[in-house]
Amino acid sequence: MFSVHATAAGSRARRGTLATAHGTIETPVFMPVGTRGTVRTQSHADIERLGAQIVLANTYHLMLRPGAEVLERMGGLHRWMTWPGAVLTDSGGFQVFSLGRDVTLDEDGATFRDPDGGPKVVLTPERSIAMQRIIGADVMMAFDQCIASTSTHAEARAAMERTHRWARRSLAARGDAPNKLFAIVQGACFEDLRRESAETLVGLDGFDGFAIGGLAVGESKAEREDMTELVAQLLPQDRPRYLMGVGTPIDILEAVHRGVDMFDCILPTALAQHGKAFTSRGRLDLRRGVYRFADEPLDPTCTCDACARYSRSFLHHLIKTEEPLGWRMLSVHNLRFYLDLMRQIRGELETGTFAAFYARQREQLVLGDQDNPAAPPPRGRTGRRPMTRGAFAIRTSPQGFASVAHVTSGEIMHSVNAPDVEAHAIYIAQSRLLARTLAGARPLVVWDVGLGAGHNAMALVRALDAAPGHAPVELVSFERDLDAFRLTLDHGKLFPHLRHAAPHTLAHRGTFTRDGFTWTIREGDFLTAFAEHACPDVIFYDPFSSKVDGEMWTLSTFRALRAHLSRPAELFTYSKSTALRSSLLAAGFHVARGTSSGPKEETTIALVLGDPALADHALLDRGWLARRSRSSAPFAPDIPAEQHAAIEAAIQAHAQFG
């Protein structure tokens, strides 16, 4: 049962209570995220002391590990994790969305292979609800189809309508179980679809509350706020409203103002891992050197363990040395900040002073560090720094973005496409193995061959930042000449992809480590170094062209690389030349067409098969062989003419053309 006890003048904010089997929840409320039954770095006693009333757990992950049998035998999640408060479980819809192409969706549900190498899994509305009942969730979510908020109208409509059909099945599967069940309003950023979704779901009898889903997945802040305000107005007054996966403190304040009651987000612990803290003095970055001798507490108004026991100087030391205690203490503080903010909001609503509080906090919650504001660089600073280093120079493309040129050859890295867009499209979005790892499955080893300006490696870092539940990833960047990388690090204004702790730490120490991710650099000749490293699963193959790095594109190199690969693997590269593909085939790889890139209608993927996840790459077929026969350059220049016949025979007999 949900009751509204107070509303705010000049605002849609409201103060309420939600009765559950494990206590009454005071709203508005923030739910710490305990994906696998635990909030990262925190014991359940910690969460109780901080004052959390309810935590969120992940149906998808708990279904895979430990599985329904364990939870059933252990008496449900509350008893197993020794948590006395309430639990809300998501349905698995967002995690299915995160699997990308590694999932098949149909009317029945979602079919995917256990990302950790297990059997195929079918997740339907009925199975999702059954799993949530086994977990013992106080609040369950209906199974939905989540899509990017930037999807087309047709895509958003199809997903919304399927969400409605699955919502009906979720209601039927709940039956007479006492667990509360929320529906999820979808519709991307289309007002007509959001209205239709809200109207349809409200018209279904039996839902105890409603969630606003499909936001914080690509839209702008203004779009998110507009959609939140629109949907909240369309939902019943007598049932709670839950904005899924949002957000920063200012995001939460704005959503409360628009009538939302419940929130969850990983940011308090995820940002803590990177040294970020929300305080009454603004948002602090404890990695900054200015805190080395700072003896004052993190936040003088806070009484959490981090603020009561430790100085900013010591916390800075913990973060810089990557001691787990630093992550833990900043997580304690950030969670306290979020939970205190919700207590303040509830108090202001009770006393009728929310409007003034909202006006003050709109300014306060967006502040940067007030004690040690970051000084802007002197005017013209970028211009005064050298624009060349060694064999490399910075150039500006006609499209307006900066790139790095090899002065002697005149060739430019990423000369046509925006580098970050190209890096994501070629090296991240196509990888079946990486998508599985981002969804929390098996660990991954990635080789970044040709670090260059760091665009490909940072595309991976951004993907990992956006998937906090990812499985462990080891990234090794190979580069014989670090001048290009160091040149771009000196010009952060021109290369925004490097505005992150990872590349700067890497350049200084040779390695960067955080929970679940290690990035190391190997300087020198790749051909003499790679055999010393663990076999990769994914290879970003991006040396400079054959004109600059000729030896990297030879048949002998590809044969040596293929011989080193002892398990299924994906290799992505920007070229689509017939000679390159012929060499890869002759070396023993299977070869597939990759995504387009700028003027190239295709790129190339080389594969070591053996993993079902790789089966749907578009392998070259006999039609390509026919076109190759008409090519004026079917062999790479490093292959002597006397070997052409033998190589040709090997290509024609390759298993992928059988």
CATH of the domain at 620: 3.40.50.150
Pick the last residue of a domain from 232, 265, 298: 265
405 domain residue, yes or no: no
Q: Are 521 and 451 in contact (CB under 8 A)?
A: yes
- What region does 408 belong to: left with phi over 0, alpha with psi -120 to 50, or beta? alpha
Q: Between 234 and 406, whose confidence is greater?
A: 234
- pLDDT tens for 193-206 read 999 999 999 999 99
Main-chain dihedrals φ then ψ at residue 173, nearest 5 degrees: -70, -30
Q: Which of 46, 90, 340, 448 is catalytic?
A: 90
Asked whether the predicted pLDDT for residue 321 surpasses 80, the reply is: yes
Q: What is the pLDDT of residue 419?
A: 84
628 domain residue, yes or no: yes
User: In this structure, how many other beta carbons lie within 10 angstroms of the beta carbon of residue 295?
Assistant: 9
Give the mean pLDDT of 286-293. 92
| Of residues 577, 551, 535, the one with CA closest to residue 450 | 551
Please indicate, yes or no, whether residues 155 and 296 belong to a single structural domain of this protein: no
The mean pLDDT value of the chain amounts to 91
- pLDDT tens for 582-631 read 999 999 999 999 998 765 679 999 999 999 989 889 999 999 999 999 98
Q: What is the pLDDT of residue 414?
A: 67
Please indicate, yes or no, whether residues 254 and 127 belong to a single structural domain of this protein: yes
The 8 Å CB, 24+ separation contacts for 559-563 are 559/586, 559/587, 559/588, 560/527, 560/531, 561/530, 561/587, 562/587, 562/588, 562/589, 562/608
User: How far apart are alpha carbons 119 and 613 in whole angstroms?
Assistant: 12
Please indicate, yes or no, whether residues 346 and 435 belong to a single structural domain of this protein: no
- Give the torsion through C-alpha atoms of 543, 545, 548, 549, to 10 deg: 40
Q: Between 101 and 73, whose confidence is greater?
A: 73
Q: Which of 138, 264, 285, 340 is catalytic?
A: 264
Whether the ω angle into residue 66 lies within 30 degrees of 0, i.e. cis, is: yes
User: In this structure, how many other beta carbons lie within 10 angstroms of the beta carbon of residue 356?
Assistant: 11
CA distances to 413, 578, 630, 635, 647 from 620, in Å: 27, 11, 16, 17, 17
- pLDDT tens for 21-47 read 999 999 999 999 999 999 999 999 999
Please indicate, yes or no, whether residues 199 and 276 belong to a single structural domain of this protein: no
Range of the domain at 499: 417-657
402 domain residue, yes or no: no
44 domain residue, yes or no: yes
Main-chain dihedrals φ then ψ at residue 113, nearest 5 degrees: -90, 140
Give the mean pLDDT of 389-407. 81
Please indicate, yes or no, whether residues 254 and 272 belong to a single structural domain of this protein: no
User: How far apart are alpha carbons 277 and 254 in whole angstroms?
Assistant: 20
Q: Are 268 and 297 in contact (CB under 8 A)?
A: no
User: In this structure, how many other beta carbons lie within 10 angstroms of the beta carbon of residue 383?
Assistant: 8
Question: Crossing angle, helix 644-652 and helix 578-587, to 10 degrees?
Answer: 80
Beta bridge partners, 512, equal 519
The structure's pTM equals 0.62
| Of residues 562, 581, 560, 559, the one with CA closest to residue 570 | 562
Q: Cβ neighbours of residue 649 under 8 Å, at least 6 residues apart? A: none
Asked whether the predicted pLDDT for residue 179 surpasses 80, the reply is: yes
Please indicate, yes or no, whether residues 540 and 556 belong to a single structural domain of this protein: yes
Structure tokens at 117: 């190498």
Asked whether the predicted pLDDT for residue 76 surpasses 80, the reply is: yes
Please indicate, yes or no, whether residues 344 and 482 belong to a single structural domain of this protein: no
Asked whether the predicted pLDDT for residue 646 surpasses 90, the reply is: yes
User: How far apart are alpha carbons 647 and 640 in whole angstroms?
Assistant: 10
Please indicate, yes or no, whether residues 236 and 272 belong to a single structural domain of this protein: no
User: How far apart are alpha carbons 580 and 573 in whole angstroms?
Assistant: 10
38 domain residue, yes or no: yes
List the CATH number of the domain containing 123. 3.20.20.105
| Of residues 230, 280, 271, 282, the one with CA closest to residue 247 | 271
**Does the active-site annotation cover 90?**
yes
Q: Which of 129-133, 230-234, 350-354, 399-403 has the lowest mean pLDDT?
A: 399-403
User: In this structure, how many other beta carbons lie within 10 angstroms of the beta carbon of residue 210?
Assistant: 24
134 domain residue, yes or no: yes
597 domain residue, yes or no: yes
Q: Are 5 and 16 in contact (CB under 8 A)?
A: yes
| Of residues 239, 247, 241, the one with CA closest to residue 264 | 247
Number of domains the chain contains: 3
375 domain residue, yes or no: no
User: In this structure, how many other beta carbons lie within 10 angstroms of the beta carbon of residue 147?
Assistant: 23
Please indicate, yes or no, whether residues 454 and 590 belong to a single structural domain of this protein: yes
Please indicate, yes or no, whether residues 231 and 360 belong to a single structural domain of this protein: no
Q: What is the pLDDT of residue 386?
A: 86
Please indicate, yes or no, whether residues 456 and 505 belong to a single structural domain of this protein: yes
**Exposed/middle/buried for residue 167 (C-beta within 10 Å: 0-12, 13-18, 19+):** buried
Structure tokens at 385: 């720094």
DSSP state of 375: P
User: In this structure, how many other beta carbons lie within 10 angstroms of the beta carbon of residue 360?
Assistant: 10
Please indicate, yes or no, whether residues 252 and 271 belong to a single structural domain of this protein: no
Asked whether the predicted pLDDT for residue 97 surpasses 50, the reply is: yes
**Predicted confidence band at 118 (pLDDT cuts at 50, 70, 90)?**
confident
Asked whether the predicted pLDDT for residue 515 surpasses 90, the reply is: no
Q: Which of 92-101, 122-131, 242-251, 303-312 has the lowest mean pLDDT?
A: 92-101
**Predicted confidence band at 554 (pLDDT cuts at 50, 70, 90)?**
very high
